[in-house]
Amino acid sequence: MSTYNTSREEIAIVSFVELTPAEASQLDEIETIQTIVSRATDGAGIARDRIGFTVSGSCDMLVGRPFSWIMAMDGAGVSKPIEESHVEMDGAWALYEAWVRLQHGDIDAALIYSFGANAAEDLMQVLALQLDPYYLAPTGINAAEVAALQASAMLAGGATERQFAEVAVRAGLAVSVEAALAEPYTNRPLRASDLPRFSDGAVAMVIARGDYARSVCARPAWIQSMAHIADSHSLGVRDLSKAPSLEKAARLAGVGEKPTDLVEVHAPFGPQEVLAIEALRAAGLHGTAALNPSGGTRAAQSVMVAGLAAIGRAASAIHRGEASRTVGHASSGPALQHNLIAVLEERS
């Protein structure tokens, strides 16, 4: 394993909260942030003045308002002032920035939050705007159609629609494999049960160093390692039936070094879960490894939140004493272009 991807300081996820879609749908961005941040800090016995760094992940294109995250920051209590940053990405990359920041060893804890209130009428079309603006975006292809291209490439490479259906059942989006396979195609070879159910959502997390982590959390989820790798932005130069950046990130993070109890994968579309797990296995994933026991993020997919949610759920399993080594995955960009892996461990 590359030491670059390993925690130099002892750093752990000590608190993680998710807002339910029903709660999130009632609140504006400031109210949302206020609610989750207070639950993840005050609610977990973490003093605000111990937090030396705050970083958020969100996307202005979801609400159609420039710099919406600056307004939303009011909910975190910011005019002290605080040291703060933002990524226009899934909150998992905000976690990565906070983890790097904590390696400096001069602050105790960092707060990470992520929110996605989907105000867009056609989110699939909004997501397509992340495609390259010269060759792909002008074709009008939307996110579901990109995912269908990938699923087709997977089928050509030997995957089966039955595998996609099994993932849909695990996510609670179909009652049985047969029922899933009986659904009509929405974007061939995708069916409704392969698509995400978009919802509003928000999550907040606190990571902390060494003794402070131990003092606020009975079973900290220690971040053993974290790595993220991106494939080419252009769909045309990729083999969409594979997720090489995911496999490479998993290798860099040392996923295969020990047996894993639980994996939470962030696959916006069903077939991508099949692909992600294949890539993790190729990188050495072994052990009992329960796959997406939370049901994954697709049944209530909040864009920019789902990846951090997957990692947070992998941490929560350690907090609850249900697992001692877990892997969390987040993806970004079209067709699993960019992938982040976090390896979390319990330590005595």
DSSP state of 288: S
The answer to whether 134 contacts other proteins (rule: CB under 8 A) is yes
6, 10, 21, 38: which one binds other proteins (CB under 8 A): 38
The Cα-based distances of 187 to 140, 143, 153 in angstroms read: 14, 11, 14
Binding segment for other proteins among 77-85, 169-177, 293-301, 323-331 (CB under 8 A)?
A: 77-85
CB atoms within 10 A of CB 134: 8
Q: What are phi and psi of 262, to 5 degrees?
A: -155, 140
The answer to whether 66 contacts other proteins (rule: CB under 8 A) is no
Q: Are 340 and 307 in contact (CB under 8 A)?
A: yes
Beta carbon of residue 35, minimum distance to other proteins (angstroms, whole number): 8
18, 29, 166, 194: which one binds other proteins (CB under 8 A): 29
22, 47, 137, 175: which one binds other proteins (CB under 8 A): 137
Nearer to other proteins among residue 129 and residue 179 (C-beta): 129
1, 120, 177, 181: which one binds other proteins (CB under 8 A): 120
CB atoms within 10 A of CB 41: 23
The burial class, CB within 10 Å (0-12 / 13-18 / 19+), for 1 is middle
Collapsing DSSP to helix, strand or coil, 192 comes out as helix
Tell me the one-letter amino acid at 50: R
17, 36, 63, 146: which one binds other proteins (CB under 8 A): 63
Beta carbon of residue 338, minimum distance to other proteins (angstroms, whole number): 22
Binding segment for other proteins among 24-32, 177-185, 201-209, 258-266 (CB under 8 A)?
A: 24-32
Gap between the Cα atoms of 277 and 32, Å rounded? 32
Tell me the one-letter amino acid at 129: L
45, 105, 138, 321: which one binds other proteins (CB under 8 A): 138
Residues contributing to the site for other proteins (CB under 8 A): 26-34, 37-38, 48, 61, 63-65, 73-80, 117, 119-122, 125-126, 129, 133-134, 137-138
